[in-house]
Structure 1
Amino acid sequence: MDGVKPVELQEPLGELARDPKRFAHDLEFPPAAKIRVYDDTLRDGEQMPGVAISPKDKYELARMLSDIGVHIMDVGFPSVSETERETLRLVLEGRKRGELRSDLEVVCMMRSTKGDIDATMRVIDALGHKRDEVTYFIFTSASDLHVKYKLGKTLLHRDGIPESEWLELPVSHYREANLRMMCEAISYARDQGATSIEFGGEDGSRADVDYIGEIHREGLKAGGTRPSTPDTVGCYSPFAVREYIPRIKAAAPDAPLVVHFHNDLGLGAWNTVMALGSGAEVFTTSVNGIGERTGNAPMHQVLIQLRYLFGIEIPQFKYEKLRDLARHLERVSGIPVQPTEPGIGLNVFTHESGIHTAGMLIHPAIYQFMPPADMGAEVEYVYGKHSGALAIEHALRQAGIRPEPELVSTVMTEVKRIREERAERSDFSEFHRRYYEHLNRLGLTADEVVDIAKALAAR
């Protein structure tokens, strides 16, 4: 706090202010050393509309993620594009050279098809790496809506059943065919040299829980090593998590359970924490929460909730680097973070109000329970219409100016006058227009797609 010493508290802080960790109630978390941070930024994060990150920038993100302490990293679908393959190459080579941690687990995504598995393994072979150097995430669907109406025709084709029977066949038929397809894919991947296989069904939060349990049990029997259950559309509530995650975990109690939450209702991080307290050991997350629609469970939110509300600190995780990581992703993705974003936002440790500033100058715990140094930050002050005399005195002292009462009063009056004049002159409409124009221009518009099609057709 700019060299100003706070008042020395005469009583323990824990006696003066109740610790929020006392409200943990009946949640049962795994030992911190067994919790795994699973980053989805390079794959699910990049699926945010308009975001496209180059392999070079993805590798720099991977390097920072390895350094900060994530355990698992999803690098995407190497079978679908050259840039995805280049990202995988950079990550595997970086791990081999020691630029990424040797224990960093690298995950490749694929559908439950031999074609996807073969394509992924061909990429790994071509890069000169062993097939068991990555984890194969073989996914299908779990909800009846997805299984019958998204995958239905695919499942019929596999079994030689005409499409004309698509709508007439019962959901039970599609459930059985879907389970068989996934298990055959897992067994095939095992036969082809995969030793680490994650698996699961999309739209798990809207699926029958007993069917999810069957997917997990049968997937493990087929050779899978780690089941995953996703809240694909972000509709879980913490109450639903507390009810369903224990049941899902009970279906395969000896295997680590991965949970994956989206943030459509603003509950991605809290649902993740509830799931970890209800049986899960591995949680997916993304830097700054980027991802489809409203994004994924934000890494910083999950980690600071675990740390400050439940006393759970991930061993060797560098919390103090979360803000630098956030700033870096802003630069390479073009997606800014809200200034009020917990832990990493510009305003998190910044104060203007005279009442708050006065309290902070007495002791920082008066208005903050998260030490800024924990997040690699410092307390800062902004001066404006809400500033009080103590804040002005503090600024003058730091500049070596004696804060005479008359000077302080005059400066405070002038500060408020200038700020209010600026407010009168301010017009943020142009900034607002440019901000949304920037976001809308990250991706191509439908008109641009049509123009491309016309140009190609005219050749």
Structure 2
Amino acid sequence: MKAIKKPYFIDTTLRDGEQAPGVVFSLDEKIKVCSLLDQAGIPELEIGTPAIGIREAQEINLICQQEFKFKTLAWCRANKYDILLAAKSGTNGVHLSFPVSKILQEAMGKDEHWVLQNLQEMYDFASSKFEYVTIGAQDASRANLSFLKEFIGLAAFLGTSRVRIADTVGTLNPISCFKLIKSIRATYQDLPLEIHTHNDLGMATANTVSAYLAGAECLSVTVNGLGERAGNAALEEVAMALEMSEKIDCRLDSTLYSELSSYVSEISNRTLPESKPITGSLVLSHESGIHTQCLQKDRKTYQLIEASKIGKLEQDFIIGKHSGKSTIRFYLQKENLPVDEVICDILLIKIKEEASKKKSFLSEKDFYQIYWDIRKKEKYYGRKEYAGTNHS
């Protein structure tokens, strides 16, 4: 068995990502996304669909003129009109998408014979105008495997630079995805294979990782998993999963992931869930007293990823219903306040009460306000008397 090649990322935030309902990027926003992806080391970007209109084609051309280090790719339907528009846009390459499942072919008024015939004609036409041409098997996950392999075989024979296996409606799971790619790789051992997954069932990232392990070294991703319906595989999640779970060097600058994620969230008007893997605002936060006691000794006890690795700062512990004395002591020491066991006990009770009422965690300001309220009452009532009250 051949060793798997290093992951090769193709970011499609500006193409498939912008196809998410209601998402529109300005040219300046596109250029900034490109700049951040370039700094992160992404080797190739699918930067748009020229056939959308003149303005789209012009913006693609302007992006190509920025002299970024990555290769640029235009997405096209399998027709000469789209290819000609792409050629004028100035991208390095073109991606030609073909419907390979019966359900898509019937909806588009095509059949398998048309697909194979058109593949050869469009490939020949496109290869006369571009440095490289990639071929897409749209809805490959629902295609007849025999026909899918025939399609891939013809693309390989013609000399395609890469074949994209698209899970267009997100029907695969990590096991079925692995088996599909393994079967294709067994037949076409040297052909560059790309996996393009959708997240309809919440498995896009897992499927992309699975496909890579099965032999698809080219990974199609978007920042934040932005894309149609439930989205695509998330760049930052796939890359960190490969690195942390499989010890595979993705050769990317992960310290830019948080900035990329925040910026794409902002310009797409898609608020990130606080618990979104890798870049969510609370994914490196801890409340449980059992955890924070260990975390103060070693962050690795209950935290897989160092904050600095993904461009974040380590976060202080959450103050809430599940906090323990270790968190109380942490915040007292932070402000050089005396760590008094009686006060700690009272603070812990009050914090749990307030967090339960609020149905959320408390801010540092809330914490210190409670502390000073306790101190004032202690001074008024006296230590012994106050400790014996109900602290109301």
What TM-score comes out, normalization by structure 1 length?
A: 0.75
Show the counterpart of 2:283: 348
Show the counterpart of 1:139: 97
Q: C-alpha displacement at 1:184, in angstroms?
A: 0.3
Q: Any residues of structure 2 matched to 1:202-213 within 5 Å, and which?
A: 202-213=138-149
Q: 1:179 aligns with which of 112, 116, 119?
A: 116
Q: 1:89 aligns with which of 61, 69, 89?
A: 61
Aligned length: 360
Show the counterpart of 1:452: none
Question: Which has the larger displacement, 175-184 or 245-254?
Answer: 245-254
Partners of 2:93 and 2:188 in 1: CA distance: 19
1:184–1:222 contact (8 Å) kept in structure 2: no
2:116–2:151 contact (8 Å) kept in structure 1: yes
Q: Which amino acid aligns with 2:72?
A: V
1:55–1:86 contact (8 Å) kept in structure 2: no
2:165–2:194 contact (8 Å) kept in structure 1: yes
Q: Which amino acid aligns with 1:263?
A: N
Identity %: 27
2:137–2:163 contact (8 Å) kept in structure 1: no
Show the counterpart of 1:432: none
Show the counterpart of 2:326: 390
1:56–1:87 contact (8 Å) kept in structure 2: no
Unaligned runs of 5+ in 1: 1-26, 125-132, 156-173, 425-459
Quick check: 1:373 aligned with 2:308? yes
Q: C-alpha displacement at 1:223, in angstroms?
A: 4.0
Q: C-alpha displacement at 1:214, in angstroms?
A: 1.6
Show the counterpart of 1:42: 14
Q: C-alpha displacement at 1:69, in angstroms?
A: 1.5
Q: C-alpha displacement at 1:29, in angstroms?
A: 5.9
Q: 2:255 aligns with which of 307, 320, 327?
A: 320
Q: Which amino acid aligns with 2:126?
A: A
Partners of 1:83 and 1:248 in 2: CA distance: 39
Show the counterpart of 1:150: 107
Q: Which amino acid aligns with 1:183?
A: Q
Q: Deviations over 1:23-59 (max 9, x none)?
A: xxxx976243xx2011111110111111111121111
Quick check: 1:216 aligned with 2:152? yes
Q: Any residues of structure 2 matched to 1:225-244 within 5 Å, and which?
A: 225-244=161-180
Q: 1:60 aligns with which of 24, 32, 40?
A: 32
Show the counterpart of 2:84: 118
What TM-score comes out, normalization by structure 2 length?
A: 0.87
Q: C-alpha displacement at 1:413, in angstroms?
A: 2.9
Show the counterpart of 1:329: 264
Unaligned runs of 5+ in 2: 361-392
Q: C-alpha displacement at 1:208, in angstroms?
A: 1.4
Partners of 1:209 and 1:264 in 2: CA distance: 22
Partners of 1:135 and 1:250 in 2: CA distance: 27
Partners of 1:179 and 1:116 in 2: CA distance: 18
Partners of 1:175 and 1:277 in 2: CA distance: 30
Partners of 1:189 and 1:386 in 2: CA distance: 61
SS at match of 2:257: helix
SS at match of 1:283: strand
SS at match of 1:328: helix
Q: C-alpha displacement at 1:83, in angstroms?
A: 3.6
2:198–2:204 contact (8 Å) kept in structure 1: yes
2:272–2:280 contact (8 Å) kept in structure 1: yes
Q: C-alpha displacement at 1:253, in angstroms?
A: 2.3
Q: C-alpha displacement at 1:372, in angstroms?
A: 2.5
1:288–1:326 contact (8 Å) kept in structure 2: yes
Partners of 1:299 and 1:310 in 2: CA distance: 16
Question: Which has the larger displacement, 414-423 or 267-276?
Answer: 414-423
2:173–2:207 contact (8 Å) kept in structure 1: yes
Show the counterpart of 2:381: none
Give the RMSD, CA atoms, in angstroms: 2.0
Q: C-alpha displacement at 1:248, in angstroms?
A: 1.6
Q: C-alpha displacement at 1:382, in angstroms?
A: 1.5
2:100–2:148 contact (8 Å) kept in structure 1: yes
Partners of 2:202 and 2:257 in 1: CA distance: 20
Q: Deviations over 1:358-413 (max 9, x none)?
A: 12112222212322222222132121222111111111111111212122223333
Partners of 1:243 and 1:412 in 2: CA distance: 53
Q: C-alpha displacement at 1:290, in angstroms?
A: 1.0
Partners of 1:289 and 1:189 in 2: CA distance: 29
2:61–2:89 contact (8 Å) kept in structure 1: no
| Structure of greater relative contact order (alpha carbons < 8 Å, 6+ residues apart) | 1
Partners of 2:186 and 2:113 in 1: CA distance: 21
Quick check: 1:246 aligned with 2:203? no
1:214–1:251 contact (8 Å) kept in structure 2: no
Quick check: 1:272 aligned with 2:208? yes
